[in-house]
């Protein structure tokens, strides 16, 4: 997908994401800075920040777990390993995500059950397990292109469903379904 299309899609995704009722009450949102050809999150990050919502962004740790830091605007993002951009501010610890009302997750696809196919590094599987252990129940939302909402994706025992996928065509809601092992 050409970079201009990725950017344009990001603006549409930002509009669609703000249709989520969960954002109306969220004081803190965990999100991520998109890379490569992922649907762009830049417009969404800026809009959340401008709305006064605290935005937490991941900081990749050496063991592929995620720490978190607050988003303070695009000028405060720094280059990190693996082509990632991370916030320059103080680290808040891996548990900081448990205070989020909405968690935006990256993914390659999601299926009709709400099961997300990640990139295989396990970082967000750890985040989802951490949320579960803490008893935290934020809205879990994956940002995708329209063609990435599929009938079925491969599932592992530790996979957890998301409640929604935001695509350029709209918000797709899923009933919570247990993962199959």
Mean pLDDT of 116-137: 93
Mean pLDDT of 97-106: 98
How far is C-alpha 58 from the chain's CA centre?
Answer: 10
How far is the CA of 22 from the CAs of 68, 83, 115, 164, 179, in angstroms?
Answer: 21, 31, 19, 11, 23
pLDDT computed for residue 82 by the predictor: 83
Has this prediction a pTM greater than 0.85? yes
Indicate the burial class of 136 (C-beta count within 10 angstroms; 0-12, 13-18, 19 or more). Answer: middle
**What is the DSSP track for 22-36?**
HHHH-SEEE-----T
> Quick one: tokens of 112?
């009709």
How far is the CA of 16 from the CAs of 32, 97, 157, 165, in angstroms?
Answer: 17, 23, 31, 10
Domain ranges of the chain: 3-173
pLDDT computed for residue 181 by the predictor: 39
Buried b (16+ CB within 10 A) or exposed e, 43-81: bbbbbbbeeebbbbbbbbeeeeebbbbbbeeeeebeeee
Pick left, alpha or beta for residue 13 (phi over 0 → left; psi -120 to 50 → alpha; otherwise beta).
alpha
What would the pLDDT profile of 7-48 be if each residue is shown by its tens digit? 778 999 999 999 999 999 999 999 999 998 899 999 999 999
Fold of 3-173: Rossmann fold (3.40.50)
């Amino acid at each position: 997908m050409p970079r201009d299309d990725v950017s344009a899609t990001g603006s549409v995704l930002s509009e669609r994401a703000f249709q989520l009722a969960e954002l109306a009450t969220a004081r803190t949102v965990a999100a991520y800075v998109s890379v490569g050809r992922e649907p762009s999150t830049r417009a969404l990050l800026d809009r959340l920040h401008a709305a006064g919502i605290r935005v937490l962004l991941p900081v990749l740790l050496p063991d592929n777990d995620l720490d978190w830091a607050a988003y303070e605007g695009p000028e405060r993002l720094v280059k990190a390993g693996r082509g990632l951009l991370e916030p320059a501010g103080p680290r808040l610890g891996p548990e900081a995500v448990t205070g989020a009302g909405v968690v935006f997750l990256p993914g390659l696809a999601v299926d009709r059950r709400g099961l997300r196919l990640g990139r295989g590094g396990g970082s967000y599987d750890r985040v989802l397990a951490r949320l579960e252990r803490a008893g935290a129940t934020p809205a879990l939302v994956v940002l995708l292109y329209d063609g990435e909402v599929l009938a079925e994706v491969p599932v592992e025992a530790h996979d957890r469903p998301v409640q929604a996928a935001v695509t350029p065509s709209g918000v797709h809601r899923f009933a919570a379904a247990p993962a199959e092992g």
